Structure 1
């Protein structure tokens, strides 16, 4: 078969190429004249075969994705078992309460001894006496204004929020045992948080705490 050097094609390839160009030009002229090209419809058998093939591809992809996901989850579970070690025994309710009580007692600051209190009070009194002796009238006014502003904008809103929280916990408890637990928990918190201790001075909270055995909350002077 002859070889055409100008195009690098054989005679048959060049003939097919020219025929494709003619068909393309014909379609363009038809579209420009407003004539829709002739449509060729697939047979019913071809359409069903194409739909079945597409469905098979979809289910194969879906099956592959599910298999990949299951394998990944299995790897995660196996790695978790290796890192976590053997399963820990479940605690009973009594053991859990004892563990929580021990944890609360572990981070509560121990009460200072009388000697430590006296030493701290003596140091504080000496320090404040020196400050008050050298304080001017402008410094005193500025200090009292800052103290009042801090109480109104920082302390009082937070204390009222804690009061609302305590009352909400008591209202949410449905049994006397649960209310006693709430009282014990807030009493422990009041030992370490001075804001909670101030919240205990409020009348509603003080009455609730006295009802469940905590009568040591005194109203400040």
Structure 2
């Protein structure tokens, strides 16, 4: 069986790093561990991601993380399903692995890294600001969330502020399991201009209407 995590080289402007946050992860728990026990990626996949980012010569590096970094996704009454556990303080549990990756990106001057995710059933845009988080050894970045395409939609999850995440945009129902026939079905679209290299992110609903859009200028002076 082939592995899910891989790199998609889409020309000189874009590399996409597809993660697998299901197969190699540690067990769901209260997520208060004081050390990186393999986290949500496992040690091997973490090392792979870091080295792939380090070697990328594309202008934009898009990380496709199938579990969100900041939304608090619960599993039962005591455990957590994704990265965050809602403590809002220094990194713990799976957050420690993400902190290591973010620190690696900063210290190696890897620029133009964008994260895209789903799993949660709504659309949102989060800006991660090191000046507003308990952990600050990283460069600012965006995470864009869009889903589902054909499933029940749900209200927003709580946002963990360990990495300074600010929800800049979002749309979700105020009740659980809104039917796919409603307005709460979403997908995302990314375009990169071939000349300016500006990335445009559009968050759309299932009619195709653009609900929110963001243009990102490429940063210069770091690794390409």
Larger Rg computed on CA atoms: 1
Q: TM-score range by the shorter chain?
A: under 0.3
TM-score when normalising by structure 2: 0.21
Structure with greater helix percent: 1
TM-score when normalising by structure 1: 0.22
Query: Relative contact order: is structure 1 or structure 2 higher (C-alpha 8 Å, sep ≥ 6)?
Result: 2
